[in-house]
Amino acid sequence: MFVIEIVQIVVVAAAIIIPVRFFLVQPFYVRGASMEPTFFDKEYLLIDEITYRFAEPKRGDVVVFRYPRDPSEFFIKRIVGMPGDTVDVKDGGVTITNQDHAGGVVLEETYLDQPVTIGNKHVTLNPDEYFLLGDNRGSSLDSRNFGPVKEEYIVGKVWLRGLPLDRFSLFEPTTYEQLEPAVSGDE
Predicted confidence at residue 12, as pLDDT, reads 59
Predicted confidence at residue 16, as pLDDT, reads 53
Q: Is 140 among the residues known to form the active site?
A: no
In a 10 Å sphere around its CB, with 0-12 CB exposed, 13-18 middle and 19+ buried, how is residue 185 labelled? Answer: exposed
Q: What is the pLDDT of residues 61-111, one digit of tens each?
A: 999 999 999 999 999 999 999 999 999 999 899 999 998 888 888 888 888
Confidence of residue 185 (pLDDT cuts 50, 70, 90): very low
Which of 21, 9, 48 lies closest to 158 in space, CA to CA? 48
Residue in 72, 77, 121, 140 annotated catalytic: 77
Predicted confidence at residue 96, as pLDDT, reads 93
Q: What is the pLDDT of residues 5-41, one digit of tens each?
A: 776 666 655 555 555 445 445 677 778 889 988 888 9
Q: What is the pLDDT of residues 138-152, one digit of tens each?
A: 889 999 999 999 999
Predicted confidence at residue 10, as pLDDT, reads 62
Q: Is 34 among the residues known to form the active site?
A: yes
Threshold 0.75, pTM exceeds: yes
